[in-house]
Structure 1
Amino acid sequence: MELGIGMFGDLQIDPTTGKIQAAQTRLQEIIEEIKLMDEVGIDFFGMGEHHRADYAVASPEIILAAAASVTKNIKLGSAVSVISSSDPVKLYQDFSTVDLISNGRAEIMAGRGSFIESFPLFGYDLKDYSSLFEEKLNLLLRINNNETVNWTGKHRASLINQSIYPRAMNQGKLPIWVAVGGTTESVIRAAKLGLPVMFAIIGGSPVNFKPLFEIYEQAWVDNGHDMKDYQVGVHMHSFFGEDAKQIADYYYPFYSEQMNRIGASRGWPPYQKSQYDYGRSNHGHLIVGDANQSIDKIIQVSETFGLTRFSAHMDVGSPDHKQMMKAIEIYGTHIVPKVKEALKK
């Protein structure tokens, strides 16, 4: 199993003054954090795309290109690219460029995104939410598999004998994942297309996702795909420290304040400490604690779902850079090796 880290590029917000951290500062910190991930042997990094004042990254591919120049081994992908409001031609070109810079380490994770700001920003209508995603994903796959493309759709100008460059290293093909939330339709679509899926388990009890994993696997087999190519992962909010209670107490204000900021726009009730405590329990969705606790919970989740990939989403609310670096070090040097060792048995 591959173990990696995902980030959204959250900017830290002062709870007293409301002042938002400078994007320049956070971007430089992120590059330093990715460099450390590579040094401690983490398998992959995923960068999110957002178009809001409280996030630093609107173009994951630019961050990944910068990271490619200071890393050697870690895979570099989006988490996610909001494909519904992107141009698949430009998206492929940008990520194939990252692939060439990084010597074949680039990936795309296509998703709908957790916010909707990109739709009006790039001139799309939310009533086309589903058809945009499906059409643009299909076009991206067509480009990924063919150097010269002929294509006609509803939401973009047609392509007639258009050759698309530069091409990625592996015969022009980039690894393309699909991020899914909790809908059966999304899971079946990914399985039909033969695409690996990343489930975002960011609330409630992970075991509730078990039926979706079973549906995905059955649809994968029913559509004639080989199980040797089967890949499935989870993305879970995580943070690590040397002392379980200390790191949980440290992280709670960052996490709860971000949950409340997001919740305010979605009609959620105020986030409660009891939710946080349940999330950290064996039945919850949070992996926040020391190395031993985290190892046990990651193994538990992996065995429950038969994972090939685990992504620790580590910057919710933007903890201090020093604490992020420490959490990355613990994850790479203590957690990742022990999880891999246990899963080999």
Structure 2
Amino acid sequence: MTVRFPLEFALDTFGDRMGDEQHHPITHAQSIRNVVEQAELAEQVGVDVFGIGEHHTDEFPMPAGDVVLGTIAARTERIRLGSAVTVLSSDDPVRVFQRYSTLHALSNGRAEVILGRGSSTESFPLFGYDLADYDTLFEEKTNLFAALRDGGPITWQGTTRSALLGQDIVPHTETPLRSWIGVGGSPQSVIRAARYGFNLMLAIIGGHPARFAPFSQLYREALTKFDREQLPIGVHAPGHIAATDEEAFEEFYPRYEEVMRTVGRSRGFRVPTAEQLRRDIGPDGALYVGSPETVAHKIATNLRTLDATRFNLKFNVGATSRAQVLRAIDLYGTKVIPRVRELLTD
């Protein structure tokens, strides 16, 4: 792997509805408050970025991650703060830009945003958007957001919202707002990210991570074709860390099975058996579950394979207990991240 950019390590959460010590779901309010505690610990143990992804369901009660990030900004000093995903298709690009520009100001330039089309589509009917317009919504809104990110008076016209005719959009940012496009499997999205000059975040939640390697190559080639400078590639994937591989599996599998059973009803996901999960957390699977050494080796291998320099671990799943989540964050920061850096240096 040619390291074009500094290695960065992030933790992502969807605000999963956590559990008590008996794994009974706690309230939405307490789950949201717990995210602030998790971010504070992430900074203390050396994590580079903390991301909160937008979701609107009982199991993921996190519809306003930017509000939570504002609280975290006031309690931290170093860690970068961003959206693990913002569903741009069902939001207004001007408001998204304004919210994250405000966070950028409050945090002294630590904000960033990952824009997604919406693999979870509950926000579309919630905010009155037609899924038949899925592609048009994202294309037009990405186009507008790119113009907003670049700064200056905005003149823009499309079919999905009112036109802008030389408007000055505030607040102005003192430094550029770092922006990514999240891609789950669409070559068109890879090319779109390159065309508009967004960093690329590969969201890999199933299958062999190596199958995304052609996307990295396509992105590099597209950046050159569009006469843009080379930009970072990141990987977002779920996982859980504990002292040993077996302990991590035993903590993760029951909670993962519960969530997949619930989400699968609306999204058609299969409910994994224990045997299937063991394959998914193996060397050729998409999940990062195990001891610090096991997880570190897998991260290092796939960063090399995908020509990526950023890894986002989607930690916490379902009614995992507070103690297990905090222990996983600590191990990620104090054991996994230093080990990955060591492996990639070697």
Relative to the length of structure 1, the TM-score reads 0.94
Aligned residues: 339
Structure 2 residues not aligned, in runs of 5+ = 1-6
Structure 1 residues not aligned, in runs of 5+ = none
CA distance in 2, matches of 1:215, 1:330: 34
Backbone CA RMSD of aligned residues: 1.7
CA distance in 2, matches of 1:268, 1:50: 17
Answering whether residue 207 of structure 2 is matched by residue 204 of structure 1, we say yes
C-alpha displacement of 1:266: 2.7
C-alpha displacement of 1:92: 0.8
Match of 1:54 in 2: 59
SS of residue in 1 equivalent to 2:238: strand
CA distance in 1, matches of 2:304, 2:164: 44
Match of 1:158 in 2: 163
Q: Which amino acid aligns with 2:221?
A: Q
Answering whether residue 334 of structure 2 is matched by residue 333 of structure 1, we say yes
Match of 1:108 in 2: 113
| 1:175-214 mapped onto 2 (5 Å cutoff) | 175-214=178-217
CA distance in 2, matches of 1:85, 1:110: 11
SS of residue in 1 equivalent to 2:75: coil
Instruction: Provide, for residues 115-147 of structure 1, a one-character-per-residue CA deviation record: whole Å limited to 9, x for no partner.
Output: 112112212111110010011111111112123
Q: Which amino acid aligns with 1:199?
A: L
Preserved contact between residue 260 and residue 270 of structure 2 (Cα < 8 Å): no
201 and 152 in structure 1: CA distance in 2 versus 1, 3 angstrom threshold: same
Match of 2:15 in 1: 9
> Percent of pairs identical after alignment?
38
Q: Which amino acid aligns with 2:342?
A: E
CA distance in 2, matches of 1:307, 1:84: 26
C-alpha displacement of 1:262: 1.2
1:39 to 23, 40, 44: 44
C-alpha displacement of 1:318: 4.0
SS of residue in 2 equivalent to 1:21: coil
CA distance in 2, matches of 1:78, 1:219: 25
Match of 2:229 in 1: 226
CA distance in 2, matches of 1:115, 1:243: 32
Match of 2:148 in 1: 143
SS of residue in 1 equivalent to 2:301: helix
Match of 2:4 in 1: none
CA distance in 1, matches of 2:160, 2:109: 31
Instruction: Provide, for residues 27-73 of structure 1, a one-character-per-residue CA deviation record: whole Å limited to 9, x for no partner.
Output: 11110000000111101011110112221210111111111011111
1:82 to 64, 81, 87: 87
| 1:237-276 mapped onto 2 (5 Å cutoff) | 237-276=238-277
Answering whether residue 74 of structure 2 is matched by residue 73 of structure 1, we say no
SS of residue in 2 equivalent to 1:235: strand
Instruction: Provide, for residues 156-190 of structure 1, a one-character-per-residue CA deviation record: whole Å limited to 9, x for no partner.
Output: 111122111112221xx311100001111111111
CA distance in 2, matches of 1:212, 1:145: 25
CA distance in 1, matches of 2:270, 2:195: 38
CA distance in 1, matches of 2:126, 2:263: 19
192 and 54 in structure 1: CA distance in 2 versus 1, 3 angstrom threshold: same
C-alpha displacement of 1:13: 6.8
Instruction: Provide, for residues 69-99 of structure 1, a one-character-per-residue CA deviation record: whole Å limited to 9, x for no partner.
Output: 1111111010100000111111111101111
| 1:89-128 mapped onto 2 (5 Å cutoff) | 89-128=94-133
186 and 149 in structure 1: CA distance in 2 versus 1, 3 angstrom threshold: same
CA distance in 2, matches of 1:241, 1:207: 25
Preserved contact between residue 98 and residue 170 of structure 2 (Cα < 8 Å): yes
Higher relative contact order (CA 8 A, sep 6+): 2
CA distance in 2, matches of 1:57, 1:86: 15
SS of residue in 2 equivalent to 1:277: helix
Match of 1:312 in 2: 313
